[in-house]
Amino acid sequence: MTMITRLDAHFIPQGLAMMQTGIYLYFLLLLRMACRVRAIIVPACFFGKHFLTQ
C-alpha cells in the first residue's frame, strides 16, 4: 500500500506539471495566432475605414 501511494506521489505531480506545460504552450500558440490574425485584420479595418470616410 505504501508503495502505491509513493508512486502516486511521484507520478501525479509530474502529470500535472506536464499538463500545465501543455496548456501553457497551447495558450502561447493561440496568442501568437491571435496576434497574427490581428496584424492582418487591424490594418484591413483601418484602411477600410480610411477609404470609407473619404
Residue 38 domain flag: yes
pLDDT given for residue 30 in this prediction: 93
The tens digit of pLDDT for each residue in 14-49 reads 778 888 899 999 999 999 999 888 888 888 888 888
Domain span at 33: 28-54
Task: Let me know if residue 20 belongs to a domain.
Answer: no
Flag whether 23 is in a domain.
no
Report d(CA 28, CA 22) in Å as an integer. Answer: 10
Count of CB atoms situated within 10 Å of the CB of 45:
11
- pLDDT value, residue 2: 60
Number of domains, the chain? 1
- Kindly state the DSSP code that residue 1 receives in the 8-state scheme: -
User: Distance (Å, rounded) from C-alpha 33 to C-alpha 2?
Assistant: 47
